[in-house]
Structure 1
Amino acid sequence: MTTRDDVTRHAQKMAKKKAARDKIMATKSGEKGLIIVHTGAGKGKSSAGFGMILRCIAHEMPSAVVQFIKGAWDTGERRLIETHFGHLCQFHAMGEGFTWETQDKERDIAAARRGWEKAKELIRDPEIRMVLLDEINIALRYDYLPIDEVIAFLQEEKPPMTHVVLTGRNARPELIEIADLVTEMTLVKHPFRAGIKAQKGVEF
């Protein structure tokens, strides 16, 4: 049973926390376009990126998506964006599937290059506030794109207020170094290991 003293102590504790939090927040007034990386072995990297895209759409901020690997998939997010929000978010599926599906390195490199050229075009557009580069980390991991070129472009040509989100496992250390926000998804348990296939609404 909660006593009056418990209620008083809780209120005092929360008041102190709020005061400390308000003091911290008062020092945070800057804004800038962020380089955001979602990586790691756990599920949720692309999902987190698309969550940010939906936030931009909700705020009527123009945005764009370039998919580097899963372009051949008929995904729920692609259907939703193209069907209902095409006026706010461009969607470019440039990949042809995972590298073990194409089994053609030159073809994979060509697809990655097309995706990167489109990505640069979208990022350079000052009207577009966020660009999601979905699974680009995989293309960088396999050296389908030169990491030095990508880093140089993000540092030198990205407009100051444009957010760029890069997803995929095994993000390169050079990319992590220049990023403003890096989240690593940790795999704890996954149904695939128990024989459950990818399912609509969860994986795609």
Structure 2
Amino acid sequence: MTEADATQDTEAELARHAHKMAKKKAARDKIMAGKEGEKGLIIVHTGAGKGKSSSGFGMILRSIAHGMPCAVVQFIKGAWDTGERRLITTHFSDLCQFHAMGEGFTWETQDKTRDIAAARAGWGKAKELIRNPEIRMVLLDEINIALRYDYLDIGEVLEFLTTEKPPLTHVVLTGRNAKEELIEAADLVTEMTLVKHPFRAGIKGQPGVEF
């Protein structure tokens, strides 16, 4: 093949690519043209894989960047000194309320009555924050664990979210083993899949990665 032939093949390939991308853009623009409405979403991050809370906090930071008032209620990790908690309470407390209501995982407290009381207190604070129409996003971190152990009633939570949540407020619920009823009611559900984790190789959780 001569250099001229190679140049022609390259130009033909570039032309085909440009044509393909133009068709894709036209189709995408047509889809987007019909999506003008806004709605406060119920968002669920669940699954055995890492990243559920991290993704929720990413949304909180986006809200902060847009100047949108937001709030976090932690149902389990309240006793942890996490990087997210330090960052938000130190630098962004004017835009984001942070309420650490949990005392740790159930195997740490070893007291079901205390766990239920902490979950109920967290849910009470969550309802207060969600009812405030000025708060545009509320992250309920690890609430799915409280729901899984029936420390909170799933029916009560869904009833509140569907009847009392302001129309433009986003609520993010994280934690593995999300209830099927919650998944059904949610607008956006992401399941994190565990492929590989350093904990199984004997490596403990580390700052900046786990907390």
Partner in structure 1 of residue 154 of structure 2: 147
| 1:115-158 CA-partner distances (Å, limit 9, x unpaired) | 00000000000000000000000000000001110010000000
Partner in structure 2 of residue 180 of structure 1: 187
Separation in structure 1 between the aligned mates of residue 16 and residue 154 of structure 2, nearest angstrom: 54
Separation in structure 1 between the aligned mates of residue 23 and residue 209 of structure 2, nearest angstrom: 40
SS where residue 13 of structure 2 aligns?
helix
* Aligned partner letter, 2:39: K
Q: Where do residues 81-160 of structure 1 align in structure 2 (5 Å cutoff)?
A: 81-160=88-167
Partner in structure 1 of residue 3 of structure 2: none
Gaps of 5+ in 2: 1-5
| 1:35-86 CA-partner distances (Å, limit 9, x unpaired) | 0000000000000000000000000000000000000000000000000000
Q: 1:31 aligns with which of 28, 34, 38?
A: 38
Identical residues among aligned pairs (%): 84
Q: CA deviation at 1:101?
A: 0.3
SS where residue 140 of structure 2 aligns?
strand
Separation in structure 1 between the aligned mates of residue 69 and residue 90 of structure 2, nearest angstrom: 16
Q: CA deviation at 1:21?
A: 0.5
The structure with the largest helix share of the pair is: 2
* Aligned partner letter, 1:178: A
Runs of 4+ in 1 over 6 A off after TM superposition: none
RMSD: 0.7
* Aligned partner letter, 2:105: F
Structure 2 length normalisation: TM-score? 0.96
Determine if the alignment matches structure 1 residue 74 to structure 2 residue 81. yes
Separation in structure 1 between the aligned mates of residue 173 and residue 28 of structure 2, nearest angstrom: 30
Separation in structure 1 between the aligned mates of residue 13 and residue 95 of structure 2, nearest angstrom: 50
State how many pairs are aligned: 204
SS where residue 201 of structure 1 aligns?
coil
